[in-house]
Amino acid sequence: IFKEKSVPNRTFIVNFLLILGIGIFVSLLAFSPILNSDSEYPNRTLDEHIRYSSGLANFFTPTFFHSSQIYSDYNFMLEMNSLLNEDTQNNQSAESFSYLGYPVIFLSIFALKFRFKFSWFWVLIGVGSALLSLGPELKILNNLTGILMPERILYDYVPGWEEFRASGRFVIITHLSMAVLSAFAVNGIMKSKFLSKKILVLILVSIMVVIIFDVSAIPYPSYNEPVSKIYEEIRNDVSNFVVLESPIGSMTTDRGISHPTFGYYQTFHEKPIIGGYESRATVDELEQTNTYFLKNFQLLKNQDFFGGDKYTHQDFNDIVKQDLGVHGVSILNNLNIKYVIIHKSELVSVSDLTTRHNSIGESFVSGVSDLMLEILDDKRSYFEDDKVIVYKIPKSNSEKPFILLGEGWYEFDSDDQARAMSPKAEIKIINPKDTKVEYSIKIKLIGYKQEQKIQVLLNNKYLQEFNIPETTTTLELNKLKLSPGENIITLNSDRYEIWLDSHLETEYKISLIGLGISGE
């Protein structure tokens, strides 16, 4: 439609709008999960766009992975940093690794001499992508200059653009365009009529050798992580069980910090694990381990792994009040957990060549260990080396019912000492006996903003209806007949407003602030 001169303007405009419309429609389909992600995580901030962008000097500065830097003892990088008054650790993130390569830059410019069709198209694509990769504000390496870049306009005015936080990755398109332009340049050189074929072949081979050396990373830093002997025992155990790897959680949220490399050990033992999330775990997935009991094995951002408060397992008070010294083994058995593995350290990023592991935090390790010793009523672990402490879980002899939280409960609010509930929330009472038992349960609830009504069911059978005032009230459910195994108390609320934000602020909610069972 661009080349055909006889196409009427009306046809041209209609066809162009059709192409544009199809492109926009397909793009919206592809990016709809990103555009809808506000329902899970907050919008990406401008600071993230700045952090995960490239710097102008990074286009011309090899990284410490490149062979030219390894063999020159990083003199080029050090001189560049010194010249620009930069810290020697110039790369804040992988998105800063945007070296284009001097031979490729030269060939891309040289390609314009031959006037191949579409050369300027690839120039525009490459330059435009390079500008986007610089993020919202121009940096010289990592120093901000205050000069606003085109990506800032897109961030401010294009809906959903803030989700594309790692603007430095646009440089990949620049690499693609420069590869095409370099091919144009080589093609033009090989068509020269002034040089013999032997000379042209020699030039071609020389270009290939220079480019390969310029972008090579030999020897690339690699590391073979040894596996603790305990994993061999786990692999050889043919019974059906689950392994709990602590700390559990995801590296990118506040809901428990864990490193994806812990999942590496599962490739060895091949058993189901709890807490084996990758770095981009969804909120729904994280809710599974943000429950009562399992959160004892979480490492939060305000604990000493990040230089904050010290960890003790007493920090994890929750709405369920029961003695883990009595019920802990029963809970672990219920979750089919046979091994609890506490990691002392984590594998670091390959970009850090000074160390292989980072300590997770002595107080976290000792805190979870104290919890396990309390649960097992023992003074020692089953296995320990310089990387892990392992506890093997026996079968429980207790016949006392215990409580677990089912679906419908939100994150524990340490300020209110409560968990907000959804319109339908479940409390599980596990009866280990083979016969029915009679137990009573007390549930402390508080309504917010106005009185609310809830309906209580046991194993889907209606029990009673209650009005929950704006002050704490205790529901006493006496002489409940618990069947062997799992019994579910369901709380149905008549009013509830979704979505709860991170501070649990909403017009209507009910919070559970205490829960416990009494004897037969």
pLDDT of residue 418: 80
pLDDT of residue 222: 72
pLDDT of residue 85: 61
Report the C-alpha gap between 173 and 128 in whole angstroms.
9
Please determine, for residue 475, whether its predicted confidence score (pLDDT) is greater than 80. yes
Please determine, for residue 63, whether its predicted confidence score (pLDDT) is greater than 60. yes
Please determine, for residue 66, whether its predicted confidence score (pLDDT) is greater than 60. yes
pLDDT (tens digit, 9 = 90+) per residue, 108-163?
999 998 888 788 889 999 999 999 999 999 988 677 888 999 999 999 998 878 87
pLDDT of residue 257: 61
Please determine, for residue 187, whether its predicted confidence score (pLDDT) is greater than 90. yes
The neighbouring-strand residues paired with 468 are: 452
pLDDT of residue 307: 43
End-to-end CA distance of the chain: 84
In this predicted model, which residue has the larger pLDDT, 287 or 210?
210
Please determine, for residue 430, whether its predicted confidence score (pLDDT) is greater than 90. yes
Confidence of residue 504 (pLDDT cuts 50, 70, 90): very low
In this predicted model, which residue has the larger pLDDT, 335 or 356?
335
Q: Residue 325's CB: how many other CB atoms inside 10 A?
A: 12
**Residue in 278, 294, 305 with CA at minimum distance from that of residue 411:** 294
Task: Tell me what the pLDDT averaged over the chain comes to.
Answer: 80
Pairing, β 242-246 against β 273-274: parallel
pLDDT (tens digit, 9 = 90+) per residue, 240-284?
999 998 888 655 555 556 666 677 889 899 999 987 666 666 666
pTM over 0.85: no
Please determine, for residue 177, whether its predicted confidence score (pLDDT) is greater than 70. yes
**Residue in 419, 412, 488 with CA at minimum distance from that of residue 448:** 419
pLDDT of residue 260: 63
Please determine, for residue 73, whether its predicted confidence score (pLDDT) is greater than 80. no
Q: How far is CA 86 from CA 68, 80, 283, in A?
A: 20, 8, 38
Q: What are phi and psi of 409, to 5 degrees?
A: -115, 135
With a pLDDT cut of 90, the percent of the chain lying above it is: 33
Report the C-alpha gap between 71 and 53 in whole angstroms.
28
pLDDT (tens digit, 9 = 90+) per residue, 432-445?
999 998 888 888 88
Please determine, for residue 511, whether its predicted confidence score (pLDDT) is greater than 70. no
pLDDT of residue 30: 79
Report the C-alpha gap between 72 and 81 in whole angstroms.
15
CB 47 within 8 A of CB 137: no
